[in-house]
Amino acid sequence: MNRSPLQLAQHLLETSGIRNTDARRNVLSMLLGASRALTHLEVQEDFPDMDRVTLYRTLDCLTEAGLIHKISGDDRVFRYSASHEAQVQGVQQQHQHGHFKCTRCTRVFCLTGTEAPLAVQKQLQHSLQATLGSGFQSHEIELTIKGWCAACAQT
C-alpha cells in the first residue's frame, strides 16, 4: 500500500512511541517527501510560522526516535533526512547508509538501495580491529562521497 508522506508520517509517529504533534507530523512528512537531506533553514522556510526553538526540538526528537537522521557536514551545517529504512519498511531502523555531498551546491543525498556503503562500513570495522586491536569498538561510521551532483556537473 502506497501512503502519502503525511500518512506515513502519521503511521511512523503512532508506532514510534513518541507524541504525535502537528510540528512532528509536518516536519516528518516534509522530510519523507524530500529528495535530499535538508538544512534546518530549508525546513524552516516551509514552516515560517513555527518557532525556531520548536523546530530544533522537533528535529532532535525525530532524530532520537530514529525516524530521521542528522548528517554533519564539513561546512558545520547539519542536514536532516528521513530514514530511508523507515520509509521502505514503515518501521524504525538504524541509519546504515552512505551519503553523496555535492561540493559545489553543498546538497547532500542519501545513498540507498545498495549494499555497498554497508559493505564498506564492515570493511572499515574489520580494519579498525586489525589495526588497533580487539579492544576497540566503533559505534558509528560515516561514509560520504564528495563530488558534483548532476545539476552542478552540467554547469
- CATH number of the domain located at residue range(s) 1-91 in this protein: 1.10.10.10
Taking the chain (155 residues) in runs of 10, the rounded mean pLDDT of each run is 87 93 97 93 96 96 92 88 59 61 88 66 82 80 86 91
134 vs 63: CA distance, rounded Å: 30
**Torsions phi, psi of 78, nearest 5?**
-80, 145
pTM over 0.75: no
Range 96-155 has CATH code 3.30.479.10: no
State the CB neighbour count (10 A cutoff) for residue 43.
20
Contact 59, 23 (CB under 8 A): no
- The amino acid occupying position 65 is A
The domain locations on the chain are 1-91, 96-155
User: pLDDT at position 92, please?
Assistant: 41
What pLDDT does residue 89 have? 46
